[in-house]
């Protein structure tokens, strides 16, 4: 029988209010209901419990009486549904019989009954359990017990962090059990918050370096995983990798998420295709910050405004992958400074072009940007205070001519540009960008020679450099920039 997942977009919650105890059998609400500018109090009790009374559920499927209401199932329990509203989702459980357990929309209600979007059968059960609204006890259970594969999307809002030591993980987190559907254009979304969904707050998923508790890993069942969105999530001490080649992992988006202090890469995207990471961070990981290589023969990844800092190896490794990944507006600083030195950006493509634009490499152990194989493209980037070269091309392998244009390098220990065999760098300069506050992560350049590209200053005196890094630098600059100046001046 059709559930909410076969009929409407829906919203579910984890934690929520008060002690955030939640309930594995929580309901939730429809997206159209939630879009009426509601708060958590409209969908759950004081501590995240369902809004229906506790005696509407006895665990045996016999707490409420079932009757027919206009061809739909009506569940009755005196005084049990006083706080319910149409548009909430009810979790129903039945004793053995015609009806199957599931989550259904509440289409009408009064203090003593709810009518749900489930077709009534005169040969069906006469009793059932109900929990209306509420929040799940943890994000893993919410993920596993919801379904976005049928053309209707599911959003899960969580303000409850999880860790292995607290017993919050029920075994390996298995993305293969539920995701979205590329074919049906539906998404599964997990989004953190603090007080009210949409406030940008973050939750932490802490696997404590135990391979048996892998959030976002442990793929099984040879199933395709697609159309997943993660927002405002911090992942710590976990193996954040797609650790099996059994599944086709694609069209997954991360927004404002962090992979920190992991025993390996902060983000291992090397099994999968077409990931989009926006505003994500990787700090203090034992290997690379972002391993950007995509699966063989598949579309690459896109990283926008991401930050890699203080990782043992590269900040961004193998930008390019097998099919041309892209990094835009990203920053790598303080990476690879241990006994073995590593670079901020390793632009390495097996078959496609790796593209890096508007990025900054600062104070990394080896090079700011290093290039290996197959036509890497680097435009409008800055390398400063790195341990060896600012921009370095290794032509010992299958490197074709890298293209470096409109870039700036300064105070890199071995030199600024080492691009033997590369196309001549186009309009690049060796000037101090004069970052606003590099020590605190503000890498906007202040040097007028970098910003104005030969335009006269306020006194009418021309600057001497022939480029304007503003053409690409920092995606939000248009809010403070004269757009008429966004051009190359010869």
How would you write 383-433 as a 3-class SS string? EECCCCEEEEECCCCCCCCCEEECCEEECCCCEEEECCCCCCCECCECCCC
24-79 residue pLDDT tens: 999 999 999 999 989 999 999 999 999 999 999 999 999 999 999 999 999 999 99
Coil, strand or helix at 401: coil
Residue 349 in contact with residue 374, Cβ under 8 Å?
A: yes
What was the pLDDT predicted at 293?
Answer: 72
Of 310, 316, 326, the C-alpha closest to 291 is 316
d(CA 292, CA 268): 7
Lowest pLDDT segment from 103-112, 354-363, 382-391, 452-461: 452-461
- 308 pLDDT tier (thresholds 50, 70, 90): very high
- pLDDT tens for residues 199-224? 888 887 776 555 433 444 333 323 34
- pLDDT band with cut points at 50, 70 and 90 for residue 377: confident
- What pLDDT is recorded for position 253? 79
pLDDT band at 461 (very low <50, low <70, confident <90, very high): low
Confidence of residue 426 (pLDDT cuts 50, 70, 90): low
Is the model's pLDDT at 462 over the cut of 90? no
Question: CA torsion, points 323, 328, 330, 335, in degrees to nearest 10?
Answer: 30
Which pLDDT value is given to residue 230? 75
> Is a pLDDT exceeding 70 seen at residue 489?
no
pLDDT of residue 485: 45
Q: Quote the pLDDT of residue 139.
A: 87
What is the model's pLDDT at position 338? 95
Contact indicator for 29, 132 with CB cutoff of 8 Å: no
Identify the pLDDT of residue 478: 40
Please tell me the predicted confidence (pLDDT) of residue 350: 58
Answer whether residue 168 shows pLDDT above 60. Answer: yes
Per-residue pLDDT, 249: 55
Judge whether 152 and 9 are in contact, CB under 8 Å.
Answer: yes
State whether CATH 2.40.128.630 applies to domain 139-444: no
Residue 265: per-residue pLDDT:
81
- Residue 481: the pLDDT is 42
- Percentage helix, strand, coil for the chain under 3-state DSSP, each rounded to 5: 10, 35, 60
**Boundaries of every domain in the chain:** 26-132, 139-444, 448-485
Quick: pLDDT tens for 81-110.
Answer: 999 999 999 999 998 889 999 999 999 999
- For residue 182, the model assigns a pLDDT of 72
Poorest-confidence range of 111-125, 179-193, 349-363, 463-477? 463-477
CA–CA separation, 342 and 203 (whole Å): 31
Give dist(CA 346, CA 354) in Å, integer: 10
Express as a percent the part of the chain with pLDDT over 70: 73
- In tens, the pLDDT along 180-192 reads 777 788 888 888 8
What three-state secondary structure class fits 319? strand
Average pLDDT score over the chain: 81
Task: List pLDDT tens digits, range 132-167.
Answer: 999 999 888 898 899 988 899 999 999 998 877 777
* pLDDT value, residue 208: 59
User: What is the pLDDT confidence band of residue 170, given thresholds at 50, 70 and 90?
Assistant: low
The pLDDT of residue 452 = 57
With cut-offs at 50, 70 and 90, classify the pLDDT of residue 354.
confident
User: What pLDDT is recorded for position 269?
Assistant: 74
Higher pLDDT, 370 or 323: 370
pLDDT at 483: 42
pLDDT tier, 433 (very low <50, low <70, confident <90, very high otherwise): very high
Residue 315 has pLDDT above 90, yes or no: yes
pLDDT for 376:
80
Reply yes or no on whether the pLDDT at 347 is more than 80: yes
Query: Which residues 6+ apart lie within 8 Å of 54 measured at CB?
Result: none
Give 108's strand partners: 115
Is 80 exceeded by the pLDDT of residue 399? no
Per-residue pLDDT reduced to its tens digit, 254-277: 888 888 887 778 887 765 667 788
Q: Which of 21-35, 275-289, 423-437 is predicted most confidently?
A: 21-35
């Amino acid at each position: 029988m059709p559930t909410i997942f076969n009929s409407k977009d829906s919203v579910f919650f984890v934690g929520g209010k008060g002690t955030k105890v939640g309930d594995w059998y929580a309901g939730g609400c429809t997206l159209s209901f939630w879009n009426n500018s509601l708060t958590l109090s409209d969908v759950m009790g004081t501590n995240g419990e369902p809004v229906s009374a506790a005696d509407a559920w006895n665990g045996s499927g016999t707490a409420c009486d079932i009757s027919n209401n206009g061809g739909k199932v009506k569940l009755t329990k005196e005084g049990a549904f006083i706080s319910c509203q149409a548009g909430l989702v009810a979790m129903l459980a039945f004793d053995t019989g015609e009806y199957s357990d599931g989550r259904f929309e509440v289409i009408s209600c009064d203090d003593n009954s709810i009518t749900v979007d489930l077709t009534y059968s005169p040969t069906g059960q006469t009793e059932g359990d109900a929990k209306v609204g509420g929040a799940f006890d943890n994000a893993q259970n919410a993920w596993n017990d919801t379904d976005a594969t049928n053309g209707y999307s599911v959003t899960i809002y969580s303000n409850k962090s999880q860790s292995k030591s607290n017993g919050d993980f029920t075994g390996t987190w298995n993305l293969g059990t539920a995701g979205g559907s590329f074919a049906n254009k539906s998404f599964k979304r997990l989004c953190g918050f603090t007080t009210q969904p949409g406030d940008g707050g973050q939750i932490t998923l802490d696997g404590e370096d135990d391979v048996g508790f892998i959030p976002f890993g442990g793929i099984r069942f040879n199933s395709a995983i697609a159309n997943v969105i993660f927002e405002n999530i911090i992942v710590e001490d976990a193996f954040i990798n797609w650790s099996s080649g059994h599944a086709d992992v694609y069209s997954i988006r991360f927004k404002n998420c962090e992979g920190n202090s992991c025993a390996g890469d902060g983000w291992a995207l090397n099994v999968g295709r077409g990931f989009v990471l926006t505003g994500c961070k990787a700090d203090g990981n034992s290997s690379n910050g972002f391993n950007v290589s995509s699966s063989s023969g598949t579309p690459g990844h896109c990283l926008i405004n991401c930050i890699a800092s203080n990782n043992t190896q590269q900040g961004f490794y193998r930008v390019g992958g097998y099919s041309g990944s892209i990094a835009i507006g990203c920053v790598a600083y303080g990476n690879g400074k241990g006994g073995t030195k590593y670079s901020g950006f390793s632009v390495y493509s097996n078959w496609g072009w790796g593209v890096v634009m508007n990025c900054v490499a600062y104070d990394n152990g080896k090079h700011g940007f290093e290039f290996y194989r197959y036509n890497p493209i680097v435009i409008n980037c800055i390398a400063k205070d790195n341990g060896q070269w600012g921009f370095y091309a290794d032509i010992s392998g299958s490197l074709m001519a890298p293209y470096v244009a409109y870039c700036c390098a300064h105070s890199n220990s071995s030199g600024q540009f080492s691009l033997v065999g590369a196309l001549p760098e186009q309009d690049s300069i060796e000037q101090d960008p004069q970052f606003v506050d590099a020590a605190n992560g503000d890498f906007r350049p202040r040097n007028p020679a970098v910003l104005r590209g030969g335009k006269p200053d306020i006194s009418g005196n021309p600057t001497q450099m022939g480029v304007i890094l503003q053409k690409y630098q920092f995606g939000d600059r248009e809010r403070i920039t004269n757009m008429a100046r966004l051009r190359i001046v010869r």
